[in-house]
Amino acid sequence: MVVYLDHAATSPIRPEVLQRYTDYLTVLGNPSSVHTAGQTSRKALEEAREEIAKAIDCNRNEVIFTAGGTESDNLAIKGLFWAQNRKDARRRLVLSAYTEHHAVIDPIEWLEREQGAEAVWIPVDECGVINLDWLAQFLAERADEVALISLMWANNETGVVTEVSRVTEIAKRFDIPVHSDAVAALGHIPVSFAESGLAAMSITAHKVGGPVGVGALVVARSVKLTSLVHGGGQERAMRSGTMNAAGAKAFSLAVTLAVANLEQHGTHTSELRDQVIRGVLQIVPDARFSRGEAPGLPDNAHFTFPGCSGDSLLFLLDQAGVCVSNGSACQAGVTAASHVLLTMGRDEAEASGCLRVTLGASNTAEDIQKFLDALPAAYAGARKAGYTTS
């Protein structure tokens, strides 16, 4: 039986969410149609918007449905940049950190290449914690050139948590909008949009027990983005297109359940995470827990292993029936070292030898023990194989 320890990649859909999803897939009607069938579908969509707003503490009108976290990140970053730069052409700087998900990094670099933006990467320490003193000093000197700041609430690789409210507090002094990718944070730590001070926040369904292909960008009522997609003017004219009522209803239930079970989930996963950490460091004393003492997600245990490729380690664990992940990005068949760990100051070898264990409600202590039982042979085999970073 396969042991699944890669919940940060995607989580299993909850049975009750699947039931709601399939029920609403049979509901006929375009939510934009004015006839009875259309308005029935519209009612379902708006109920979902209300449920999500309640779960994440925002106004219902601030929930803009998208196809997932990547679209939400692109809409926030490009939309904020265009809107800010149009108001004041001096505002061409986009501040972020190179520890971000590529759904944030790549849109910023595209804006550099194609739209005249300039990326400014905020430094992080060896645990991946954002240097907020550096940010405050930079804004004190060049705030009138900054279009926006984008910093994730919790890192998808290492699990380190950013003090989002401190970021927005600093940015508010200079009237600079802040976006946060909260995909990794939602369902694992408290997330309140109202208390965060954010201009925009990305979330998605499939990381909290919902279906793939539906997400949202939460946009403060005071903020107007330039849209990526033009058409019928749906979703406050920020995201045109026929709305996915069935997906929204499934998403809203997944979020509601995740938030309602937050404390229980945190206790359960943190106990398993600690079991992972103790076991790994006992088996491989030279392994390094990536975020050190920095505050992090309860479900995430990320390590670097000396003398081997993380991909080899992942493959050998998979052969033993254990599904985990690592920090490497595979593009066009070329394996690269983790950009997150490189930004945190690790060398190429260490950044290539990482492994991420992420946990969910379905995991048990027996699952962790099966992983730990498989680790010695997998690590020995991976060390024998050496590095395969290119």
pLDDT tens by residue, 233-257: 999 989 999 999 999 999 999 999 9
Mark whether 184 and 297 lie in a shared domain: no
| Angstrom distance (rounded) from CA 88 to CA 152 | 26
How many Cβ atoms sit within 10 Å of the Cβ of residue 342? 18
The structure's pTM equals 0.95
Mark whether 78 and 219 lie in a shared domain: yes
Where residue 330 sits, what CATH number does that domain have?
3.90.1150.10
The catalytic site residues sit at: 330
Mark whether 121 and 162 lie in a shared domain: yes
| Angstrom distance (rounded) from CA 59 to CA 62 | 5
Question: CA gyration radius for the chain?
Answer: 21
Mark whether 24 and 82 lie in a shared domain: yes
Tens-place pLDDT, residues 177-190: 999 999 999 999 99
pLDDT at 327: 59
Mark whether 54 and 169 lie in a shared domain: yes
Mark whether 79 and 200 lie in a shared domain: yes
Across the chain, mean pLDDT equals 95
Residue 1: band (very low, low, confident or very high) from pLDDT cuts 50, 70, 90: confident
Is 5 part of a structural domain of the chain? no
Q: Please give the residue range of the domain that contains residue 173.
A: 15-260
H runs (alpha helix) in 57-163 = 69-87, 102-115, 132-142
Tens-place pLDDT, residues 10-43: 999 999 999 999 999 999 999 999 999 999 999 9
Please say which residue of 232, 260, 288 terminates a domain: 260
**C-beta separation of 183 from 202 below 8 A:** yes
Is 10 part of a structural domain of the chain? no
| Angstrom distance (rounded) from CA 222 to CA 193 | 13
Mark whether 143 and 172 lie in a shared domain: yes
Tens-place pLDDT, residues 57-79: 999 999 999 999 999 999 999 99
Is 200 part of a structural domain of the chain? yes
Is 219 part of a structural domain of the chain? yes
